[in-house]
Structure 1
Amino acid sequence: MTRQTRDISIVGGGLAGLTAAIACAEGGARVTLHEAHREPGGRARSTGGPYVANDGTHVFYSDGTPWRWLAARGLVQPYARLTLGALARSRFRHGGRLGGPPLSLVRALGRRRLRAPADEDFATWGGRHLGQEGMRAACGLVGVVTYDGDPGRLSAAFVWERVLRVAAPRPPAPRYVVGGWGRVIDRMAIHARGLGVRIETGSRVDALPEDTPVIVATSLDAARTLLGDGSLRWESGRAVLLDLGLRESRGDLFLVSDLDEGGFLERYTLPDPSLAPAGHSLVQLQMPMRADETKEGAIARAERVADLGLPGWRERTTWRREATCNGRTGALDLPGTTWRDRPAIERGNGVWLAGDSVAAPGLLSEVSSHSALAAAASALRAVGREPGRDLPQSASGRGRRA
């Protein structure tokens, strides 16, 4: 039923909330966005400097719809691409040593035409079709996009899709927004306000507004409490993050993909020198945590990757930050499930859900953007407005309902 209002409320001012706010305002709605913190951003915030670090090893993929939506509005420009020089300074860790991609991984990636099932785990399916070595190398390759210490336990379809995406034979898809993801958030907030969106920071919502449609763009944990819905749960990853500010050295690599343990190292100042003072580098590392592993143990393993890719880094460190990501790293699909089985975007009674663990497709932050655009389209229809042509014509997936 169409509501007698043009107002839409949004709870949460991260990437999903700001995307939904812009899409709703473009559709002619009056939008109020509530953000509990002093500034919007969520996990897309960046540190203030002198080292500008994202909350984890963030990157946009230019072969996805969310990137095109952001770029069409000038929200991710300027950005840097991967260069041949950066690729030349990239290595794989395999068998404890650095080098090029092992033959087992090359052979596995050569089987791109394979279609993996959702109802079987990747370790079983991959071992049968890619060989044990190829399967293990593929698991290590996607540690960075699953934040999981054992991708082999996940749905074969889920893991294989990500293997093929991150190792696509096309020109490199990653894009690095100059100045970090915080710049994207700043531009999104300015753009939203320019469209008339009222952004209320320091505004913690403990009960849903009753007089307007609402898009809840928070973590599943926060949404579960706000909506009083115990079904809002889904598998997610667990990893440690290690950020380093270093004095530059010519021996430093740009990237290390740790096929042995699923870790990842990236020197972000190679494509974007603005992230650190002159003569310094910003490096971000990620290491998926093993079952029952302590933070200290996982950090020690990340440091061993740094030993390989950044010779003498300890003596050159001028800034360091450690963090643990637990249950806030995006959805993981177990065998027998797909993204369509995750918590539904549409919750009923004029409430929609957006975020990186709901029923929408995509890689990492793309799930947040897809779900936000789908929620915005439905909310606009609820207030009698016609969604723009670049919004979904229907919800991406109904998902699970309690």
Structure 2
Amino acid sequence: MDHIHVIGGGLAGLTAAITAAESGARVTLHEGHRTLGGRARTSDGPYRANEGPHALYRRGPHWTWLARRGLLGAGSSPTAPEAPLPFARRAPRTAPVDRAFLEWAAGQVGEEGARAAANFAATALFHHDPGALSARFVQERLHRLAAFPPEAHYPVGGWAPLVERMAGHARGLGVGIETASRVDTRALGELARTGPVVVATSLDSARALLDDASLTWESGRTVLLDLAVRTRRGDAFVVSDLDAPGWLERFTAQDPGLAPAGEQLLQGQFPIGPDARRAEGSARAEELLDLGFPGWRERTTWRVEAIADGRTGAVDRPGTTWRDRPSVVRGDGIFLAGDQVAAPGLLSEVSFTSGLEAAVLAVKAAGQRSRTGARDRG
């Protein structure tokens, strides 16, 4: 079988590499950074923060796949905040694809309730105007957030241990992992001559690497806040804004090792519009901090802020679904994976399902190339 190359060492790339290797292919994974993980990296040092709030969902495909391979590891599930509306538990199929969520939901529970539900769903959307998105798209995520018992699962130690387990499993299958190995357009062409290539990068990076202007899809823009405070009895666990998209969670409530003893690690995200400044999201974050964490300013020991722009997964406008996003199949033995690709799922599940599909298709293509080469040699 031909060699399969995977470009990108995040969740999509690791999933693709493992899947291809399990099928018997020779696989090399190329990661441009010195460490694996992509957006699933966890910061070093005493504060173990992820690049934005992350969770695995128990009913998702990624959960089952990891569990079957013994890669899930230890974790804990939070007590999810009560969904603001009973209709949050309605099956997603009841929501239309071609209508905006706010318009559709207002017909169900009134405009005030619909707006609260849209802002609550922003926990899994990272978008400044969730009510303007497809009703089906938002309802799918709202339904998952409102599930009982709660689906959310936080890997102990952050996502870095999960990435390490996946990388160790890949190496055990014979995958060659090359870090600090940046692949440009010329190098991509050289790799493609030896076999299929899975491009498991951000869509922006894939667009430049493949020189394909069609690789675009809307994503969110949000302010990410990481904050450590000295412990105080009575601090909130989760504070979710129903008047605007925004959400804070005390991650050390589930995993005390994420911060030094006597301190708590908070992470949150506050979506902002395309022309808004970071200060707008920061101000909304501080409003929630005032409500849920009295005296937080005097107790703060560490604070980091960033804007995630186009790096929070795909969002679907009315009239579109995940099937309308850029296809996994790019032609000439090139396959695409990532969180803005045409694959189903919630948040990181899109990376997983696209990585899985890309690997299966790459293995099939490699087998066909090998058979063709054998016939030519014969």
Q: Please state which band the TM-score falls in when normalised by the shorter chain.
A: over 0.9
Q: Give the aligned partner of residue 400 of structure 1.
A: none
In structure 2, what is the Cα distance between the partners aligned to 1:309 and 1:77?
Answer: 31
1:157 matches 2:136: yes
How has the CA–CA distance of structure 1 residues 195 and 319 changed in structure 2, closer, same or farther, with 3 Å as cutoff?
Answer: same
Contact 1:339 1:359 in 2 (8 A): yes
Shift of residue 186, structure 1, vs aligned partner = 1.1
Consecutive unaligned residues of structure 1, counting only runs of 5 or more, are 91-99, 386-402
Shift of residue 113, structure 1, vs aligned partner = 7.6
Q: Give the aligned partner of residue 341 of structure 1.
A: 324
1:172 matches 2:168: no
Shift of residue 111, structure 1, vs aligned partner = 4.8
1:41 matches 2:37: yes
Q: Give the aligned partner of residue 321 of structure 1.
A: 304
SS in 1 for 2:335: strand
Contact 2:144 2:151 in 1 (8 A): no
- How is 1:279-318 mapped onto 2 (pairs within 5 angstroms)? 279-318=262-301
Shift of residue 42, structure 1, vs aligned partner = 0.5
Shift of residue 78, structure 1, vs aligned partner = 1.1
Contact 1:340 1:360 in 2 (8 A): yes
Q: Give the aligned partner of residue 113 of structure 2.
A: 134
Q: Give the aligned partner of residue 63 of structure 2.
A: 67
1:56 matches 2:52: yes
- How is 1:365-384 mapped onto 2 (pairs within 5 angstroms)? 365-384=348-367
Contact 1:49 1:276 in 2 (8 A): no
Contact 1:216 1:353 in 2 (8 A): yes
Letter in 1 for 2:118: C
CA deviations over 1:289-328 (Å, ceiling 9, x no partner): 1352110121111111111111111111111110101001
Letter in 2 for 1:345: V
**Identity percentage of aligned residues:** 57
Contact 2:90 2:143 in 1 (8 A): no
Letter in 2 for 1:243: D
Shift of residue 112, structure 1, vs aligned partner = 4.6
In structure 2, what is the Cα distance between the partners aligned to 1:44 and 1:107?
Answer: 33
Shift of residue 188, structure 1, vs aligned partner = 1.1
Q: Give the aligned partner of residue 396 of structure 1.
A: none
The number of residues matched between the two structures is 363
In structure 2, what is the Cα distance between the partners aligned to 1:37 and 1:110?
Answer: 41
Shift of residue 118, structure 1, vs aligned partner = 1.0
In structure 2, what is the Cα distance between the partners aligned to 1:241 and 1:371?
Answer: 26
Contact 2:27 2:176 in 1 (8 A): yes
Task: Name whichever of 109-118 and 304-313 sits farther off.
Answer: 109-118
Q: Which of the numbers 212, 216, 224 marks the counterpart of 2:207?
A: 224
Using the size of structure 2 for normalisation, the TM-score is: 0.93
Q: CA RMSD in A?
A: 1.5
Q: Give the aligned partner of residue 182 of structure 1.
A: 160
Q: Which of the numbers 360, 367, 372 marks the counterpart of 2:343?
A: 360
In structure 1, what is the Cα distance between the partners aligned to 2:65 and 2:201?
Answer: 21
Q: Give the aligned partner of residue 251 of structure 2.
A: 268
SS in 1 for 2:66: helix
Task: Name whichever of 364-373 and 66-75 sits farther off.
Answer: 66-75
More helix by share: 2
In structure 2, what is the Cα distance between the partners aligned to 1:271 and 1:110?
Answer: 25
Shift of residue 108, structure 1, vs aligned partner = 3.2
How has the CA–CA distance of structure 1 residues 251 and 344 changed in structure 2, closer, same or farther, with 3 Å as cutoff?
Answer: same
Contact 2:121 2:142 in 1 (8 A): yes
Q: Which of the numbers 88, 93, 98 marks the counterpart of 1:119?
A: 98
In structure 2, what is the Cα distance between the partners aligned to 1:293 and 1:8?
Answer: 42
In structure 2, what is the Cα distance between the partners aligned to 1:38 and 1:256?
Answer: 35
CA deviations over 1:203-240 (Å, ceiling 9, x no partner): 11002222210000000000001111000000100000
Consecutive unaligned residues of structure 2, counting only runs of 5 or more, are 369-378
Contact 1:355 1:372 in 2 (8 A): yes
Contact 1:17 1:354 in 2 (8 A): yes
SS in 1 for 2:142: helix
Letter in 1 for 2:282: I
Contact 1:345 1:352 in 2 (8 A): yes
How has the CA–CA distance of structure 1 residues 130 and 200 changed in structure 2, closer, same or farther, with 3 Å as cutoff?
Answer: same
Letter in 2 for 1:9: H
SS in 2 for 1:269: helix
In structure 2, what is the Cα distance between the partners aligned to 1:136 and 1:112?
Answer: 19
In structure 1, what is the Cα distance between the partners aligned to 2:45 and 2:179?
Answer: 22
SS in 1 for 2:53: coil
- How is 1:249-260 mapped onto 2 (pairs within 5 angstroms)? 249-260=232-243
Task: Name whichever of 51-60 and 286-295 sits farther off.
Answer: 286-295
Letter in 2 for 1:190: G
Letter in 2 for 1:6: D
In structure 2, what is the Cα distance between the partners aligned to 1:275 and 1:230?
Answer: 41
Contact 1:239 1:324 in 2 (8 A): yes
Q: Give the aligned partner of residue 191 of structure 1.
A: 169
In structure 1, what is the Cα distance between the partners aligned to 2:62 and 2:338?
Answer: 13
SS in 2 for 1:361: coil
Q: Which of the numbers 307, 315, 329 marks the counterpart of 1:332?
A: 315
In structure 1, what is the Cα distance between the partners aligned to 2:93 and 2:106?
Answer: 13
How has the CA–CA distance of structure 1 residues 190 and 114 changed in structure 2, closer, same or farther, with 3 Å as cutoff?
Answer: closer
SS in 2 for 1:266: strand
